[in-house]
Amino acid sequence: MTGPGGIGDGGLYANCTGGAHLVVDLAIFGDSYLNQGGTPASVYETTGSWDPEGALNWLMVSFMAYIGYVLGGWFLNEPGWVRKTGLLLGSGAAMGLTGLVLCGFRINGGFIPINKNLWSLSFVLVVSGLACAVLAATFLLVDKFGIWGGTPLKQNGLNAIALYIGVRLFLFYRLCIMWMDMVA
């Protein structure tokens, strides 16, 4: 179960927030390492601990990165634009459909519900499928037909480190202003 626990599902799985993720994290890290309450606490009245970035979560993150690695390699090695686009759209549709079947075509239902906090398999497959569709559209618009130059995405990609540092500086600056407001 990857549901919210607490009063979700009529309280049937009250102490099951995180499901298998919680069991593995408790075995590896213990209760004191895990977050107390977390995101579902206020909505589903959950008690106890869980970690949305625990050990099993990293398996799904690694799986999504591997999907990108494999599809990126295939994409770069395909000779024609029709095959490249077909590869992305076909694999994206297959992953998206598989993810939707796993969640029963519902957000909070099915065998494996779509759960962003736990990066459930259905979430990874649906998001990977959407990413393939966006990449195919971007490839066609920018590289094949030249309809769009890629701005501002191109500049962000060329200056990724500057963008990362800029965001950090902005957050720090905002924190300083908030602190000055609290002191004043």
Q: Give residue for tokens 């298998």.
A: 20
- Residue 132: per-residue pLDDT: 98
- Residue 49: per-residue pLDDT: 77
Please compute the mean of the pLDDT values over residues 85-102 and round it to a whole number.
97
**Does residue 178 surpass a pLDDT of 80?**
no
Interval 7-17: pLDDT, tens? 767 777 777 77
Interval 43-84: pLDDT, tens? 777 777 777 778 888 889 999 999 999 999 999 999 999 999
**Does residue 110 surpass a pLDDT of 80?**
yes
Are the C-beta atoms of residues 19 and 3 closer than 8 Å to each other? Answer: yes
Are the C-beta atoms of residues 75 and 88 closer than 8 Å to each other? Answer: yes
Tokens linked to 182: 């609290």
Q: What is the DSSP string of the chain?
A: --S--TTGGGGTTTT-TTTHHHHHHHHHH-GGGSEES-TTHHHH---SEE-TTSHHHHHHHHHHHHHHHHHHHHHHH--SHHHHHHHHHHHHHHHHHHHHHHTTTSTT-SSS---TTTT-HHHHHHHHHHHHHHHHHHIIIIIIS-S---TTHHHHHHTHHHHHHHHHHHHHHHHHHHHHHHH-
Task: With CA atoms as reference, report the closest residue to 8 among 50, 47, 44, 46.
Answer: 44
- Residue 108: per-residue pLDDT: 76
Alpha carbons 160 and 86: distance in angstroms, whole number: 29
Are the C-beta atoms of residues 47 and 40 closer than 8 Å to each other? Answer: no
The pTM score is 0.77
**Does residue 33 surpass a pLDDT of 80?**
no
- Ranges of each domain in the chain: 8-50, 55-148, 151-184
Q: Please work out, in degrees rounded to the nearest 5, the angle formed at the alpha carbon of residue 153 by the alpha carbons of 137 and 79.
A: 45
Q: Decide which of 15 and 119 is more confident.
A: 119
- Residue 46: per-residue pLDDT: 77
- Residue 54: per-residue pLDDT: 82
Please compute the mean of the pLDDT values over residues 118-125 and round it to a whole number.
91
Q: Decide which of 75 and 150 is more confident.
A: 75
